[in-house]
Amino acid sequence: MTFDIITLFPEFFEFYLNHSILKKAQEKKIVKINVINLRDFAVDKHKTVDDKPFGGGRGMVVKLEPIFKAVSSLTKFKIQNSKFKITDKKSKIILFTPRGKKFNQKIAYQFSKLDRIILICGRYEGVDERVAKYIADEEISIGDYVLMGGDLPALIVIETITRLIPGVIGKSELLKERITKEKGFIEYPQYTRPEVFNSKKRVSWRVPKILLSGNHKKIEEWRKKHQKVIE
């Protein structure tokens, strides 16, 4: 799986992509993550990537041309019915916008089957709407709130998908079964020692008895009952 992040702040990603699961997944060559500076695709000598909104109003809007140039440099494409179409069926272009489809575990499972995802991070007052209309395959939101940019959403989406790729965090058989069912699963609650937590005898917080029973069938039933399924 290759992720291409198109951003105005490439340095933002350095730390996060080079730690923990994402670092290991790249080292194992299970994923490749390219960070692309949108400014490198500006079409003027001042490297301008934003402009005033038509119709007036506050703030600046990320321009269409540098995004078109950046995306075209990454993949083979054709123009079909006036739309940008990647020729490889297992690739997708995602634009982050708070107006998009809300990202969840089920969408992450579907995306985890792709070979390449190009992620466009907006900034300022947003991105020229023609990117959503003609270039992006999907408009994705990570929740009903407004952030400064699409950079955090890109990290969230990359991390969620990467965890689901077999070989990244083990449990591959379990993941395979879940992926083929096309459902999103969020696991059951977990407990660890001590069995009972007493703070100066004021509380007595216990682990559910079933988890200490050693009865694997009953534990599996309890876990199934407590997992969250996203249809």
Name the binding residues for S-adenosyl-L-methionine: 122, 142-147
Tokens coding 65: 């041309």
CB of 44 to ligand SAM, least distance (A): 22
Instruction: Tell me the closest approach of the beta carbon of residue 203 to ligand SAM, in angstroms.
Output: 38
Question: Minimum distance between the CB of residue 62 and ligand SAM, rounded to whole angstroms?
Answer: 7
Minimum distance of ligand SAM from residue 196's CB (angstroms): 41
**What are 20's two structure tokens?**
């923990």
| Burial of 20 (C-beta count, 10 Å sphere; 0-12/13-18/19+) | exposed
Position with the least CB separation from ligand SAM: 122
DSSP structure class, residue 112: T
Closer Cβ to ligand SAM, 66 or 153, answer by number: 153
**CB nearer to ligand SAM: pick between 5 and 175:** 5
- Which residue lies nearer to ligand SAM by CB, 60 or 74? 60
Lookup result for tokens 């890109």: 154
Q: Which residues contact ligand SAM (rule: CB under 6 A)?
A: 96-99, 121-123, 125-127, 141-143, 145-150, 153
Which residues have C-beta within 8 Å of that of residue 79, sequence separation ≥ 6? 85
Beta bridge partners of 188: none
- Backbone φ, ψ for residue 6 (5° rounding): -100, 115
Contact 122, 146 (CB under 8 A): no
Least Cα distance to 25 among 86, 108, 112 occurs for: 112
Residue at token pair 């490198």? 40
Binding-site residue numbers are 122, 142-147
Least separation in angstroms between residue 141's CB and ligand SAM is: 4
Residue 94 β-bridge partners: 119, 138
Query: Is the CB of 30 or the CB of 156 nearer to ligand SAM?
Result: 156
CB-nearer residue toward ligand SAM: 90 or 99: 99
